[in-house]
Amino acid sequence: MACALLFNRLLPFSHRLTRTSVCFLSIFLSYLCYCALFSAYTDMQKSGDLTPSCQRLLPDGAKRKSLSCVLPMDARPSSVDVSRLKTKDQRPSSTLHIPRNDTPSAPVGYVKFGNKKLPNAIIVGVKKGGTRAVLEFIRIHPDVRAAGTETHFFDRNYDRGLEWYRGLMPRTLESQITMEKTPSYFVTKETPPRIAAMSRDTKLIVVVRDPVTRAISDYTQTLSKTPDLPSFQELAFRNQSLGIVDTSWNAIRIGLYALHLENWLQYFSLNQIHFVSGERLITDPAGELARVQDFLGLKRIVTDKHFYFNRTKGFPCLKKPESSGSPRCLGKSKGRTHVQIDRDAIEQLRDFYRPYNVKFYEMVGHDFKWE
């Protein structure tokens, strides 16, 4: 418009026809330029040419710390072939799924790498053995990601199917291990064949603890939720004066490790199962974690420098990460003061468990020294 007015004032009428043609021509040329630019931009989006911004976050060698890749919000396709990412380590398993509005927790401008995979390793037990500590300690390893809650898939939720189970897992890069822990698996008869049906290569971790202490810990937890529970002795013995133990009580039954292990060995070989000492996990967490990392085929990254002994808690806790945050101890339900049980009852239970413990030591080739 401004162009037309200017021309009207400055030039005589005879030239107006030519001027109008020039105006139309320039509008038409602008339209052509706009079309060409727009189609090039759309092609770039379709081809997923997002490499430059991802590469800034994923330099060679920066293996898997960068789980997010910053993309401009207006250049986000729903699923992008990441075969263009330069190195294998930069690539998630097959496709880069970029969530849309169904991930409200993701910060604006960020997308997540990786896929949800079925677990490669499961902490299958034992209840009150120290399973939470092992999971929380191993998951600080950059090559490990874990489901936060106990899924109970193989014992209570099996009917929901493997896709439901997979949906509970965190996203992982191809090189990362997916883990979960559900301590009741170890004593559930159906679990070993079900895990074997998912994958015979699944690595299994069992955190074991003196079965007498474990039973008292289990009872202490139940009592905290059910204050009118009968006494420990009433539940543990059918006849205490005759020393007859009630093996139908779960708190006792769980500690018969040799019996449960026999069931597992029908489906898995011993070298697929790693036993963590619940006692040493408290006195030497770094040593136990070194063995767990070896078993999982991981570089020993979780070491002494990650732990400190918290005197108030009476347990090892995780040190403050370098970047930010605060030191982390497990919650109040871990490391409770145990209910006092009389010495005779404890001695009777030790006598009861001894042959089962010895059998267990023989089976696994390690003496846990529960005396």
Ligand X SMILES: Nc1ncnc2c1ncn2[C@@H]1O[C@H](COP(=O)(O)OS(=O)(=O)O)[C@@H](OP(=O)(O)O)[C@H]1O
- DSSP code for 350: H
Residue 336 Cβ vs ligand X, minimum distance, rounded to whole Å = 4
Of 1-9, 47-55, 122-130, 293-301, the segment contacting ligand X by CB under 6 A is: 122-130
209 annotated to bind ligand: yes
132 annotated to bind ligand: yes
Is-catalytic flag, 128?
A: yes
The whole-angstrom separation of Cα 214 and Cα 205 is 17
Instruction: Candidates 64, 91, 117, 128: give the one binding ligand X (CB under 6 A).
Output: 128
What 3-state DSSP class applies to 202? coil
Whole-Å CA distances, 109 to 75, 106, 124, 240 = 10, 8, 38, 65
The pair of three-digit structure tokens given for residue 369, joined into one six-digit string = 């020294």
The pair of three-digit structure tokens given for residue 313, joined into one six-digit string = 């808690």
Instruction: Candidates 69, 85, 121, 133: give the one binding ligand X (CB under 6 A).
Output: 133
Residue 287 Cβ vs ligand X, minimum distance, rounded to whole Å = 13
**Does residue 315 belong to the site contacting ligand X (CB under 6 A)?**
yes
Amino acid at 139: R
255 annotated to bind ligand: no
**Does residue 277 belong to the site contacting ligand X (CB under 6 A)?**
no
**Does residue 282 belong to the site contacting ligand X (CB under 6 A)?**
yes
Strand partners, 276: 207
Residue 250 Cβ vs ligand X, minimum distance, rounded to whole Å = 12
Site string for ligand X, 134-153 (x = CB under 6 A): --------------------
Catalytic residue among 117, 128, 181, 203: 128
**Closer CB to ligand X, residue 169 or residue 281?**
281
The whole-angstrom separation of Cα 312 and Cα 132 is 19
Residue 334 Cβ vs ligand X, minimum distance, rounded to whole Å = 4
Instruction: Candidates 166, 334, 350, 359: give the one binding ligand X (CB under 6 A).
Output: 334
The whole-angstrom separation of Cα 11 and Cα 19 is 9
Instruction: Candidates 132, 141, 203, 274: give the one binding ligand X (CB under 6 A).
Output: 132
Three-state DSSP string of 230-295: CCHHHHHEEECCCCEECCCCHHHHCCCHHHHHHHHHCCCCHHHEEEEEHHHHHHCHHHHHHHHHHH
Q: Which residues bind ligand X (CB under 6 A)?
A: 127-133, 183, 217, 281-282, 315-316, 330, 334-336
Residues classed as catalytic: 128
